[in-house]
Amino acid sequence: MQIILRINLDGTKEKVERQLVQEQHKIQRLENRAAYYEKGDRRKRAHHLITRGAAIESVAPLAKTLTETEFYAFAEKVFDLPEVKGLLMEAVNEHNCAEQKEGC
């Protein structure tokens, strides 16, 4: 009787261990998928920042000579100008209207 019970328990233990391994693999696959999507988001953001920086250097080639600190100070001054704020707001409004397609 004990031998049969022990064989039964061993079989159950093996089955549970297999299920545990399968569930651990599922978790690993989900973690890998999450990391893949997160990495894609970082790549998109990096690409966005690089293209914006390249656009600034294309329009204002002298900006290339500034250090990062100097450039940030310059950008803060530029974007603090009332005329620039107005132009930026106008561009944002045009963008929003185009996205909504409301004939603004």
The tens digit of pLDDT for each residue in 44-56 reads: 999 999 999 999 9
Number of domains the chain is built from: 2
| Cα(66)–Cα(71) distance, integer angstroms | 6
Mind giving me the DSSP string for 61-103?
Answer: GGGGGS-HHHHHHHHHHHHHSHHHHHHHHHHHHHHHHHHHT--
Contact, 30 vs 24, CB < 8 A?
A: no
Residues 55 and 70 in one domain: no
pLDDT given for residue 83 in this prediction: 98
**9 and 31 both lie in a single domain:** yes
In this structure, are 42 and 72 located in the same domain? no
Per-residue confidence (pLDDT) for residue 101, from 0 to 100: 83
- Same domain (yes/no): 74, 92: yes
Structural domain range at position 94: 66-104
Tell whether pTM > 0.95.
Answer: no
77-104 pLDDT, tens digit each: 999 999 999 999 999 999 999 999 865 5
